[in-house]
Structure 1
Amino acid sequence: MSLPIVHHPAFDARFDEAHRFPMSKFTRLADILVEDGIVGPAGFFMPAPAPAGWLRLAHDPRYVDQVLHGQVPPEIEKAIGFKVDASVAMRSRTATGGTVLTARLALAEGLACNTAGGSHHASAAGGAGFSVFNDVAVAAHVLLADGDVSKVLVVDCDVHQGDGTARIFAGDPRVFTLSLHGEKNYPPEKAVSDLDVPLPDRMEDAAYLDVLGPALHTAFDRARPDLVFYNAGVDPHVDDRLGRLSLTSRGLAERDRRVLSFFRERGLPVASVIGGGYSRDIDALAHRHSIIHRVASEFV
């Protein structure tokens, strides 16, 4: 059996290479997964764009309509970091549909990975921080509404706090949010997750892994989930432009291995999204993002 991996060409909205968001990493990541044989013979699973009804489960209907009709206010586009045109709207819908499909594949197979997702700064009212729709929040709501799960755990290891996810699920006992993030990094005003683990600048592999295990145990004991969403952001890497932590590629791989093994040993399905990663060297960045898919392949 091969690892189920979800991808859609529309994940790449074809930004100019000078843009500070490295949009072309999604295309290069997919190419690498094919070149290195990580994708099985049947190829990628391709998602459909998330319909408006799904998006409205996590987001204000007015904001959803603004995105779908190209009418996002300038102040929200400024908070997001780019113009929300038709290609960005489709990218955001397919990435969200991709995370829903990834979750359903995880429930069926035990483990599945998206080649996008992890847009965790988008809150109910609007987008922020390169996030238009909060794909994990939408996917969790869809599965809960459909009765596929009754409890969800979000494990967010992106270097930036999953503030939008925390705000969307604040007070919702069905979804437990865990965020391990740089204490002094974006966003400047943090939300309150169910469990926050703020990390100091320049933290290295060993120290990071020392705090990861206890956090997983605590979150699991408190959440008792039916499904885990794992944000495997690579921006804690020492070479990331926006990271401020000092993990190596080997450290990221061990992080992913420990997260996946913790939950798979307990029989829990895991749906992984790639989260953040920022570099002008797209090839190096895409290889970094491929770490989660390589590690996940060890478990199938």
Structure 2
Amino acid sequence: MIKIAWHPLYAHPLPEGHRFPMLKYELIPEQLLHEGTIEQSSLFSSEPVAEEIILLTHEEKYWQSLKNLTLSTKEQRRVGFPLNPKLVERELMITQGTIDGTEFAFENGIAFNVAGGTHHSGSNWGEGFCLLNDQAIAANFLLNKKLANRILIIDLDVHQGNGTAEIFKNDSRVFTFSMHGEKNFPFRKEISSLDVPLNDGVEDEEYLSLLEINLNIAFERSKPEFVFYLAGVDVLSTDKLGKLSLSKAGCKERDKLVLQSCKIKNLPLQVSMGGGYSTDIKDIVDAHCNTYRLAFDLFT
């Protein structure tokens, strides 16, 4: 059975002005349950991640400031919202959900986290609504436990995975592949193992052609034993922040390229959902749900 990390705290309300994007964390599992794609037993919740696991990835000074809610005003502005204990607890649960998902991926081929994909968090900073980098922490967990020796992180959110790139810049065991809007946030990019910057307005055909070419390069160069995939749907033409012009069908085909590649190569895959900021919440939820529908078609 394909397992999906989720908890009601994922939809914990942010301050005014940030609540709309949080609705998807409730609506995605509701939609998948309603249509029969998943059963209630597909969903699992995790305890907060342990401090020693966080410190495999993030510097202690940053973690202590986050834990004790003592980030400076400037640091909180970089994160994008003021901290509170529930938001930190939420991040800890999401991160452990991604780690637990790796175990389910080894068992079933693929596993999901309804949230996660917090790729703007670097070793000593939070940024862009990201406090801890869930997939980077999970990758370091696998390396530390010797459950994988080579890891590929595929980041197809519209924004560069700058935090992930910074964390692994000197670690050849982790190959970071980011395909993103060149002129979009973050405006100071880091250097991934493989970056594919895109012009504004790129549509399905060009996007999918570039992805297929570079996905093959990433697999060939990394020779991974485990794959993480950040499946942000802010690549849609309807997205308020994305600046690209993919259709829902194109976004689904993007996911199919990644999922099929891992299935054919018999590589375990953990998927975190990343961003999505379309004006109509239905566009966000449907595009995310397509990723799950594909997985259940391919892996069950």
TM-score of the two chains, using structure 1 as the length reference: 0.96
1:290 aligns with 2:289: yes
Q: Which residue of 1 aligns with 2:162?
A: 163
In 2, Cα distance between equivalents of 1:146 and 1:158: 28
Partners of 1:4 and 1:20 in 2: CA distance = 26
For 1:227, give the aligned amino acid: F
Contact 1:3–1:40 (CA under 8 A) maintained in structure 2? no
2:241 aligned with 1:242, yes or no? yes
Identify the residue that residue 22 of structure 2 maps to in structure 1.
23
Q: Partners in 2 of 1:17 and 1:234 — Cα distance?
A: 23
The alpha carbon displacement at 1:280 in A equals 4.2
> Are 2:170 and 1:146 equivalent residues in the alignment?
no
Q: How does 1:3-42 map to 2 (within 5 A)?
A: 3-16=2-15, 18-19=17-18, 22-42=21-41
Instruction: Tell me, yes or no, if the aligned pair for 2:228 and 2:269 is still in contact at 8 Å.
Output: yes
Q: Which segment is superposed worse, 141-150 or 16-25?
A: 16-25
Letter in 2 for 1:115: V
- Residue 71 of structure 2 aligns with which residue? 72
Residue deviations 1:237-261 (CA, integer Å, cap 9, x gap): 0000100000011111110011110
Counterpart residue number, 2:61: 62
Question: How many angstroms apart in 2 are the aligned matches of 1:101 and 1:23?
Answer: 22
1:131-165 deviations in Å (ceiling 9; x for gaps): 11000100001111111111100000000000000
Compute the displacement of 1:20 (Å): 6.7
Residue pairs, 1:1-300, within 5 angstroms: 2-16=1-15, 18-19=17-18, 22-299=21-298, 300=300
**Distance (whole Å) between structure 2 residues aligned to residue 195 and residue 262 of structure 1:** 18
Structure 2 contact 56–141 (Cα < 8 Å) conserved? yes
Give, in whole Å, the separation in 1 of the partners of 2:294 and 2:76. 35
In the alignment, the residues of structure 2 paired with residue 33 and residue 57 of structure 1 have an alpha-carbon distance, to the nearest angstrom, of 34
Q: Is the Cα–Cα contact under 8 Å of residues 159 and 180 in structure 1 kept in the other structure?
A: yes
Secondary structure, in 3 states, of the residue corresponding to 1:229?
A: strand
* Aligned-partner SS, 2:28: helix
1:16 Cα deviation (Å)?
4.9
Q: Distance in 2 between matches of 1:75 and 1:101?
A: 33
Work out whether residues 6 and 46 of structure 1, in 8 Å CA contact, stay in contact via their aligned partners in 2.
Answer: yes
Deviation of residue 27 (structure 1)? 1.3
Say if 1:28 and 1:282, in contact at 8 Å, map to a contact too: no
1:69 & 1:21 partners in 2: Cα distance? 27
Residues 10, 91 of structure 1: 8 Å contact kept? yes
Gap runs ≥5 in structure 1: none
C-alpha distance in structure 2 between counterparts of 1:106 and 1:220, whole Å:
18
| Amino acid in structure 2 at the alignment position of 1:215 | N
1:97-142 deviations in Å (ceiling 9; x for gaps): 1111111211121111110110000000110011110001000011
Q: State the Cα distance separating 1:13 from its structure 2 match.
A: 1.9
Contact residue 11 and residue 116 of structure 1 kept, 8 A: yes
Cα distance in 2, alignment partners of residues 280 and 48 from structure 1 = 33
CA–CA separation in structure 1 for the residues paired with 2:148 and 2:192: 21
Q: For the aligned residues, what is the CA RMSD?
A: 1.4
Verify the 8 A CA contact 2:238 2:279 in the aligned structure 1. no
Q: CA deviation at 1:281?
A: 3.0
Give the CA deviation at 1:6: 1.5
Q: Percent identity?
A: 38
Q: Deviating runs (4+, > 3 A) in structure 1? A: none
Count how many residue pairs are aligned between Structure 1 and Structure 2: 299
Q: One-letter code of the match for 2:280?
A: D
- Residues of 2 paired with 1:261 and 1:212: CA distance? 13
Pairwise CA distance, 1:38: 2.1
Give the letter aligned to residue 33 of structure 1: L
User: Residues of 2 paired with 1:17 and 1:5: CA distance?
Assistant: 28
Which stretches in structure 2 are left out of the alignment for 5+ residues?
A: none
Which stretch has the larger CA shift, 17-26 or 40-49?
17-26
Q: Residue by residue, what CA displacement relative to the aligned partner does 1:36-91 show, whole Å, maximum 9, x if unpaired?
A: 22223524021111111111111111111222222222111100101121111011
